[in-house]
Amino acid sequence: MVQIFEKYNNIFFVGIGGVSMSALAVFCKNKGVNVCGSDNSHSEIILGLKRRGIKVYSKHRGRNIIGCNLVVFSGAISQDNPELVEAYNQNIPTMERSEFLGKICEGYKNVIAVAGTHGKTTTTSMIAHIFMVAGLNPTVHIGGYQSQIGGNLHIGSNGYFITEACEFRDSFLQLKPTVSVITNIEFEHVDYFGSLERENKSFNNFVNATKKESFASSSCKKNITPRGRKVHFVGAKTGLNAQNITLCDDGKYSFDLYCKKDYICNLKLNVYGKYNIQNALLAIAVARRFGIDINIIQLAIRTYEPVHRRFEELGFFASNIVVQDYAHHPTEISCSINTCKEVFGKKIVCVFQPHTYSRTKCLIDSFTKCFDGLDTLILLQTYPAREKYDYLGSAQCLKSKIESLHPKFAVQGVFNFNQFLKHIKSMQISNSIILFLGAGDIEQLAGKLLKIK
């Protein structure tokens, strides 16, 4: 039983169009709570909420919250938002998204929370798929859309709650999971953490808040220093690990699963990318911890389908294959480009939308190196998210840096969407890969390109 609903039965979501916020709104609606919200976007997420009978205001106004007894807001919402201000004036309780998620988790016997700089959405959905194949019917909350759970939310039994845990602004510290997972740790969310040391401290606090045990990639050993907590490091030969890794003819990997030196079985991924082996190992480790049979795990790994925007083939523009990937950190970008080479073996035209000025500014040296091996790089204007313009973190500055370090490598752009569409129609490209990278609204641009005849 989710106890928070005994107290609050008319909930307003400020920024309801976010991936996590929309899932929480649908969850509440399913539990019989009166739900409405606001968002100034006009996305498919908003249309989906409306189809479910959830009222969504397109403008933020104080009067929107009349009749509500709880206001939930996302981390992207500023404190001068009219609905939040009205809630404060009317003494209506407010709750940040992560705190609200934590309250929901309290109603479940086992909570599995997945954090990390890269791969947490994929790892969360892999764990969920294994549990679904095992017939455990978990409740699942992820930061992306996955066809096998019908979106970003699956409402199952109260035995298991499997959720993505975001580290931004220490959101994941609102959770007190039974089992936690850390996929990897790199300097990220630079506008909040400020340093890798502070970020490491937050991840250690996450581990220390875990009730039972944690599973982390072996690469995290330098970051995680648990104080009396059980942490299983996955990927090294001292624990669960992959050996005899093979790139198959279909561009996907197979590997032999070992626990230390003991062979367990052979596994075949149904998704592209060598990096997904580590994601799979973490998912397998969690499944084994909860006693799921290895034959079921094999079947689940073999049939798992990727999350939307995770190295996703969209279709064709002329004779060129169009692929999109959520990669927006230098490490992710390098992995996506390398995967593109492995899978297709064609020339790559990469279209990149930098995500936030602070990230680009702080990691600009890494951004100048992660596009190595491309045939063409096209830059779009920076997606600002919550930030104000800063030239040192802009796409213009990134372009200048790349060109100064690699004078023979021509960077095209910086374009807005309309300029890009006009430009690419003038380019003489064929039998290539057009790879869209970024975490902002770049997927809208990819969709527009596919519609060009």
Average pLDDT per run of 10 along the chain, which is 453 residues long?
A: 88 95 96 95 89 96 97 91 97 96 95 96 98 98 92 95 93 95 93 91 96 96 88 93 97 97 97 97 98 98 96 96 97 96 95 96 95 93 93 97 88 96 94 96 95 82
DSSP calls for 81-104: -HHHHHHHHTT--EEEHHHHHHHH
Please classify residue 47 by burial: count the beta carbons closer than 10 Å to its beta carbon, then call 0-12 exposed, 13-18 middle and 19+ buried.
exposed
Q: What is the pLDDT of residue 215?
A: 98
Q: In what order do the strands lie in the sheet with 94-96?
A: 55-57, 34-38, 10-14, 70-73, 94-96
DSSP calls for 154-190: E---SSEEEEE---GGGGGGG---SEEEE----S--H
One fold for both 106-303 and 312-450?
A: no
Q: Which CATH number fits domain 8-95: 3.30.360.10, 3.30.465.10, 3.40.50.720, 3.90.650.10?
A: 3.40.50.720
Domain boundaries, the chain: 8-95, 106-303, 312-450
Q: What is the pLDDT of residue 189?
A: 87
Domain 312-450 has CATH 3.90.190.20: yes
Q: What is the pLDDT of residue 41?
A: 83
Q: What is the pLDDT of residue 334?
A: 97
Q: Which of 158, 111, 112 is nearest to 136 (CA)?
A: 158
What's the token pair of residue 215?
Answer: 């599973």
Q: In what order do the strands lie in the sheet with 139-146?
A: 151-154, 139-146, 160-164, 110-115, 179-182, 213-217, 230-234
Distance CA 241, CA 272 (A): 19
- What separation, in Å, do the N-terminal and C-terminal C-alpha atoms of the chain show? 53
Q: Which CATH number fits domain 106-303: 3.40.1190.10, 3.55.40.20, 1.10.287.110, 2.30.29.30?
A: 3.40.1190.10
What's the token pair of residue 382?
Answer: 């920076």
Dihedral (Cα; 184, 188, 194, 195), 10-degree rounding: 30
Peptide bond into 414 cis (omega under 30): yes
